[in-house]
Homo-oligomer: A and B are copies of this chain.
């Protein structure tokens, strides 16, 4: 499978590039996002001042726009970062945190989508469905607990991700009990991770920052780089959970160990733990 064939090269490119990744983040998870960027082998720049973000973004290997904070100057900083990034043509990751959760947040989603082109969009199923079909809630197709990926609906979610990828010309990464990473042609299904990870704040945000590092160093293989990032991150979570049990810890230790295992991840460890398959063939309709 292509993702496994490329994985050693993907890690090696990070090591060789040590990419500088610009993150527009939020104050709840920014420290963890910066530390995750470093753990993955990247160098974080967290500049958010609207007066400097364009200059900073242009000089970085990739940018990650995390929509956690919409207040004050943040919407403007996200726009300027994205525009500068699009001009230089580097990978742009978007994490539409809380999309669908408030009218204000939804307006920011629309504004960003109208002005920017994203290379990769990562969110949970609710966020991605709102991004994909803004009128969804009115039509009753909004994500809720029953929409979460499971063995019974995963092929349908994979198909949705491929369709959305084609329509928005972007890679779609949907986090959940089973993760999906798709472009228009291929949807990888990733069965890594542990439910306990959802009891740490910022696990989604940190994953988006990790994807930023993998994408920054592998602009020619964005789909596979994203799938490797998602799978490696999930596997690090599994290892962290095991160590948490062994040390009789709880969610505080789990958070520390998650960063630990990402900082020690290498191609061999990855190949030992990665659980990736390809979704069944399905027509992509537009």
Q: A interface vs B, CB < 8 Å?
A: 25-32, 34-35, 37-39, 44, 46-52, 55-56, 69-73, 77, 98, 101-105, 199-202, 249-253, 255-264
Contact = CB atoms under 8 A, between A and B. Distances in A.
Contact of A73 (B71, B101, B257): B71
Contact of A250 (B50, B105, B264): B264
Contacts of A77: 71
Contacts of A263: 199, 250-252
Contacts of A25: 28
A251 B55 contact: no
B260 A104 contact: no
A50 B72 CA distance: 9
Given A29-B31, A70-B49, A38 B250 contact: no
Given A103-B52, A263-B251, A72 B70 contact: no
A253 B249 contact: no
A35 B200 contact: yes
Given A28-B31, A46-B28, A102-B55, A260 B264 contact: no
9 pairs of A and B residues whose beta carbons are closest in the complex: A252-B259, A250-B260, A250-B263, A27-B27, A52-B104, A49-B71, A34-B201, A52-B102, A252-B256
Contacts of A70: 49, 51-52
Nearest to A257: B252
A195 to B, nearest CB: 13
Contact of A202 (B31, B72, B98, B255): B31
A28 B34 contact: yes
